[in-house]
């Protein structure tokens, strides 16, 4: 045990992700938030991002490990991230058995039990992690200020009898002051770019939580014990955070990664006013926006967003079936989505991205075709919009979708390897309630949605060889993709094999 905190080094690891992650590589903000209190209290911390050079991660990680490395923390999402995190954990434990491996992040927060079956994982931290990770580090390094494992919120560990113990999650948000976020741990900001872009991009939270109860989302389960499910950061603090990123790091693009930024439109308007008052010139993007919130926005409000630099908005449309939208507690209708899209079409400087999920329990192939028809309608009414390639539902414990899926024959994965195969970009992920025909139709939609809206031309300039080749392929394949998508042609889908081959190199 290394008891001197000046000697006990920590490596925070971002594993490789899916194909989408190779186009949009975000700053590993979760690792920075988790490290905040540890760094503040003097522990040496290094960030290692396996996405930067995925083919040489073993060699690169070994270069960071030394005799003082005591802890390796890994952030884990569902799907590909699990398999990549397993590789890293087993590699570390095989070569450096004394190093403690700690997992955190969205997947283990929802499903921690299968993680503790893996002997290469020593600890799991569920939910918000900065304080809990700091308390764990104190314990591992033998600090006299350490508290017992049993008192660390959200911690899972094995006791002296090798029995798994699991503590209760925290019931409150963890707010990190922007001055304490250790951005300096990221050595090269140029590694983080959005699709062939020169922008210096920073993800940022302006609010915490979400007040909605969508059945497919894990957030309602996480926030169910919270007295207040949506809480904004102080407006002045958000604006000063943006100014600091601009002045100190040259930020040109701020990406709000809130679960939902627009619950209170006045709050966003105040942030926009603050940005203008400080004279901060940056581009803005919002990940969390809902159709019902777009419906409340006036044209003048949207123009105000544009004038402040907003050029990107991600919106969850989810389905073209009103029955499914009601079942999923989305609290919107297809008709509202169409009208909101028409409104956004009047503001062409905002690049709108729509998310869809198909293949829910009880969903018929006709309802999936309704989603297909809605996608085509959105593109027709708003030619500048983009549609994100389809997601399939991933039933996580604690969600309404999980209970629904179990009632239709779903058996949850019991190992990390099984969870790792539940990747929405993989043709191997086929929910038990979907027929072979229905699966084939969804797969065709997924592949074609990379091309039907010309997103590669809207989002890239073709400055390098990779994007020049992709643009050429997209130009040739788009007529085929649109024909398949519009008429539901699933036969001879050789594109799937080509896609699986190409993504190894992209």
Last residue of a domain, which of 148, 166, 184?
Answer: 166
Copy the structure tokens of residue 95: 């070569």
Does the residue 235 lie in any domain?
Answer: yes
Q: For residue 483, is it within any domain?
A: yes
Structural domain includes residue 125: yes
Q: Can you spell out the DSSP letters for 119-188?
A: TT--EEE-S--HHHHHHHHHHHTT-TT---GGGSTTEEEE-TTS-EEEPPPPSS-----GGGS-GGG-S-
Domain shared by 22 and 161, yes or no: yes
Residues 129 and 266 grouped into a single domain: no
CA-closest candidate to residue 133, choices 2, 43, 211, 243? 43
Given this model, what pLDDT does residue 468 score?
82
Residues 352 and 463 in one domain: yes
Cα(12)–Cα(243) distance, integer angstroms: 27
d(CA 297, CA 295): 6
The angle subtended at Cα 322 by Cα 316 and Cα 326, nearest 5°, is 80
CATH label of the domain that carries residue 48? 3.40.50.280
Instruction: Residue 434: give its domain's CATH number.
Output: 3.80.30.20
Within a domain: residue 188? no
Q: Are residues 207 and 139 in the same domain?
A: no
On whether both 118 and 226 belong to a single domain, the answer is no
Contact in structure between 315 and 291 (CB atoms under 8 Å) = yes
Strand runs (DSSP E) across 176-264, as ranges?
Answer: 201-204, 207-209, 230-232, 253-256
Same domain for 98 and 144: yes
234 occurs within a structural domain: yes
Q: Do 117 and 203 reside in the same domain of the chain?
A: no
Task: Of 322, 240, 328, 316, give the one whose Cα is nearest residue 277.
Answer: 240
Residue with the two structure tokens 């699966």: 439
Backbone angles phi, psi at 114, to 5 degrees: -70, -30
For residues 198 and 58, membership in a common domain is answered with no
Task: Report d(CA 78, CA 506) in Å as an integer.
Answer: 21
Residues 365 and 293 placed together within one structural domain of the fold: yes
pLDDT tens track, the chain, 506 positions: 454 555 799 999 999 986 665 567 889 999 999 999 999 999 999 999 999 999 999 999 999 999 999 999 999 998 889 999 999 999 999 999 999 999 999 889 988 888 999 999 999 999 999 999 999 999 999 999 999 999 999 999 999 999 999 999 998 999 999 999 999 999 899 888 776 678 889 999 999 999 999 999 988 888 888 889 999 999 999 999 999 999 999 999 999 999 999 999 999 999 999 999 999 999 999 998 999 999 999 999 999 999 999 999 999 999 999 999 999 999 999 999 999 999 999 999 999 999 999 999 999 999 999 999 999 999 999 999 999 988 889 898 889 999 999 999 999 888 898 888 776 665 567 888 999 999 999 999 999 999 999 888 887 776 777 778 888 888 888 999 999 999 999 988 877 777 766 666 55
CA dihedral 211→212→215→220, nearest 10 degrees, is: 0
Do 127 and 82 lie in a common domain?
yes
Provide the domain count of the chain. Answer: 2
User: Which residues, in sequence order, are CB contacts of 283 under 8 Å at separation 6+?
Assistant: 199, 252, 253, 254, 309, 310, 311, 312
Helix, coil or strand: residue 288: strand
pTM of the model: 0.91
Domain extent at residue 250:
193-502
Output the pLDDT for position 134: 97
Whether residue 199 is found in the same domain as residue 155: no
177, part of any domain: no
Q: Is residue 46 part of a domain?
A: yes
145 with 256, same domain? no
> In degrees to the nearest 10, what's the CA dihedral of 299, 305, 311, 312?
-90
Contact at 8 Å (CB) between 205 and 177? no
Residue 370, domain member (yes or no) = yes
């Amino acid at each position: 045990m290394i008891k001197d905190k000046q000697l006990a080094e920590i490596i925070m690891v971002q594993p490789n992700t899916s194909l989408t992650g190779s186009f949009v590589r975000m700053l590993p903000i979760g690792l920075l938030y988790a490290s905040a209190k540890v760094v503040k209290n003097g522990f040496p911390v290094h960030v290692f991002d396996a996405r930067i050079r995925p083919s040489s991660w073993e060699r690169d990680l070994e270069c960071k490990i030394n005799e003082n490395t005591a802890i390796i923390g890994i952030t884990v999402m569902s799907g590909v991230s699990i398999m990549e995190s397993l590789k890293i954990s087993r590699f570390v434990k095989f070569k450096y058995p004394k190093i403690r491996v700690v997992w955190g992040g969205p997947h283990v927060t929802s499903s921690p039990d299968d993680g503790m079956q893996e002997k290469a994982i020593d600890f799991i931290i569920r939910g918000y992690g900065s304080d809990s990770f700091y308390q764990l580090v104190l314990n591992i390094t033998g600090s006299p200020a350490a508290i017992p494992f049993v008192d660390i919120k959200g911690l899972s560990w094995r006791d002296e009898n090798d029995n798994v113990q699991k503590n209760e999650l925290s019931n409150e948000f963890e707010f990190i002051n922007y001055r304490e976020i250790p951005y300096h741990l990221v050595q090269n900001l140029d590694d983080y770019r959005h699709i062939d872009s020169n922008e210096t991009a920073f993800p940022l939270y302006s609010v915490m939580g979400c007040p909605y109860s969508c059945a497919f989302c894990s957030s309602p389960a996480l926030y169910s014990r919270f007295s207040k499910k949506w809480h904004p950061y102080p407006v002045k603090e958000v604006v000063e955070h943006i100014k600091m990123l601009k002045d100190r790091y040259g930020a040109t693009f701020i990406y709000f990664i809130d679960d939902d930024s627009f619950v209170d439109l006045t709050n966003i308007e105040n942030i926009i006013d603050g940005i203008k008052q400080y004279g901060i010139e940056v581009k803005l993007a919002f990940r969390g926006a809902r159709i019902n919130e777009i419906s409340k926005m006036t044209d003048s409000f949207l123009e105000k967003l544009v004038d402040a630099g907003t050029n990107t908005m991600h919106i969850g449309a989810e389905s073209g079936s009103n029955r499914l939208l009601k079942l999923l507690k989305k609290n919107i209708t297809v008709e509202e989505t169409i009208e909101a899209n028409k409104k956004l079409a009047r503001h062409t400087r905002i690049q709108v991205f729509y998310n869809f999920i198909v293949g829910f329990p009880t969903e018929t192939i006709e309802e999936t075709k309704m989603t297909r028809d809605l996608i085509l309608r959105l593109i027709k009414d708003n030619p500048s919009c983009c549609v994100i390639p389809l997601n399939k539902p991933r039933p996580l414990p604690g969600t309404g979708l999980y209970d629904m899926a179990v009632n239709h024959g779903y058996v949850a994965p019991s190992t990390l390897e099984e969870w790792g195969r539940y990747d929405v970009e993989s043709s191997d992920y086929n929910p038990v309630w979907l027929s072979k025909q229905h699966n084939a139709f969804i797969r065709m939609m997924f592949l074609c949605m990379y091309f039907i809206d010309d997103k590669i031309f809207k989002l890239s300039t073709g400055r390098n060889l990779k994007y020049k080749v992709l643009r050429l392929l997209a130009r040739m394949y788009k007529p085929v993709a649109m024909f398949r998508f519009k008429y539901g042609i699933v036969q001879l889908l050789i594109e799937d094999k080509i896609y699986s081959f190409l993504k190894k190199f992209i």
